[in-house]
């Protein structure tokens, strides 16, 4: 159980640390946090505990889950910025295609009149 205490404490520290760095628009910070968080959560889930033992950790987990709304808002902000960037690129491609010739210059046009 001591290892579970350490895992939950590490998860809380990682989450609080990420929350304090959320103002930075660096996706590598987010990626690193997600990687460490996923590793910690997998380790926690691998621990075999009885229902009574799980209840002992409920307060700690609830405290960590309170940060999820802030974390999700940062993820959505990054997603929206990425989407806006993709839209800008696609808009540029559409405008570029409008200026490019969509016909073959060496083609022949024959008008058959009756």
CB 12 within 8 A of CB 41: no
Split at pLDDT 50, 70, 90, the class of 53 is confident
In sequence order, the 6+-apart residues with CB closer than 8 A to the CB of 3 are 47
User: Largest alpha-carbon pair distance within the chain?
Assistant: 95
Q: What is the tens place of the pLDDT at every residue in 33-49? A: 889 999 999 998 888 87
Kindly state the DSSP code that residue 101 receives in the 8-state scheme: -
Residue appearing with tokens 């505990």: 49
pTM to 2 decimal places: 0.67
Split at pLDDT 50, 70, 90, the class of 87 is very high
């Amino acid at each position: 159980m001591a290892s579970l205490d350490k895992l939950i404490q590490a998860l809380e520290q990682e989450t609080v640390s990420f929350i304090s760095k959320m103002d930075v628009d660096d996706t590598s910070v987010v990626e690193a946090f997600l990687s460490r968080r996923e590793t910690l959560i997998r380790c926690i889930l691998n621990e075999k505990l009885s229902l009574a033992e799980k209840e002992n950790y409920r307060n700690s987990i609830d405290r960590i889950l309170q940060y999820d709304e802030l974390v999700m808002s940062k993820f959505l902000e990054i997603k929206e910025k990425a989407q806006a960037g993709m839209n800008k690129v696609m808009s540029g491609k559409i405008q570029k295609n409008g200026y490019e010739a969509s016909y073959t210059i060496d083609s022949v046009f024959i008008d058959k009149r009756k």
